[in-house]
Amino acid sequence: MHIDIITIFPAMFEGPFTQSIIKRSVEKGLVSLDIHDLRDFTKNKHRSVDDYAYGGGAGMVMMIEPLADCIEELKNKRDYDEIIFLTPDGNLLDQEMANQISTLQNIILLCGHYKGIDERVREHFITREISIGNYVLSGGELAAAVVVDSIVRLIPGVLGDETSALSDSFQDKLLSPPVYTRPAKFRGWEVPDILLSGHERKIHEWRMEKALERTKKRRPELLEGNNNQK
């Protein structure tokens, strides 16, 4: 997978993209990431990429010209499956969406700022809009990092255990069951006997039961309309 990110704060990605799973996926050649500074595409001598909104009102708007020039330059180099805008009024990111995006070959992530981007960019370039929650961030960079992390870990070969991502929370509309590790006893707190039994079928049944129990208690809305869970 190749991911291009358009931003006015490229340094914000140095931390999350140079550590852990994303770093390893790049080193393995499974993912390539390019960060593009939108200010490199403005003709303004002060490198500004924003201006006042037509009609007045508080806040600035990211201008269409540098955005269009940047996107079109990228599109001249490769074909994109999706051009994604990170915005609070986009579709809410969930596991099903992450699964689908992880199968794509080339995507662009556009990080908004200020009061947003010129609407014509959304109308003529953007193919998908994503929100990571019902709240507002200072910009789309953190949201873009979340999206990248959520999809990269699903790409075959990225995780050491190929089945690990398949047992994550939300993959089956369920939260993950409780997990334990050594020691089996600590301060009188013990690991459930079933997990020490070595009986795979019974352990699987226990985990499914606990996952359903935890989901009903903490996130019951995940079970709404799910005919496979009673």
At 202-221, the pLDDT tens digits run 999 999 999 999 999 999 99
- CATH number for the domain that contains residue 116: 3.40.1280.10
The total of other beta-carbon atoms located within 10 Å of residue 222's CB is: 19
Same domain, 63 and 96: yes
Same domain, 138 and 50: yes
Same domain, 92 and 177: no
pLDDT digits (tens, 9 = 90+) for 78-129: 999 999 999 999 999 999 999 999 999 999 999 999 899 999 999 999 999 9
Q: How many domains does the chain have?
A: 2
Q: Is the peptide bond preceding residue 88 cis, with omega within 30 degrees of 0? A: no
- Amino acid symbol at 11: A
Confidence of residue 51 (pLDDT cuts 50, 70, 90): very high
80 located within any domain: yes
Integer distance in angstroms from the first to the last C-alpha of the chain? 38
Same domain, 73 and 108: yes
- CATH number for the domain that contains residue 178: 1.10.1270.20
Structural domain boundaries enclosing 187: 169-223
Same domain, 202 and 107: no
Q: What is the pLDDT of residue 172?
A: 75
Q: What is the pLDDT of residue 230?
A: 42
Q: Give pTM, 2 decimals.
A: 0.87
74 located within any domain: yes
Confidence of residue 229 (pLDDT cuts 50, 70, 90): very low
Beta 60-62 vs 50-52: how paired, if at all? antiparallel
Same domain, 142 and 185: no
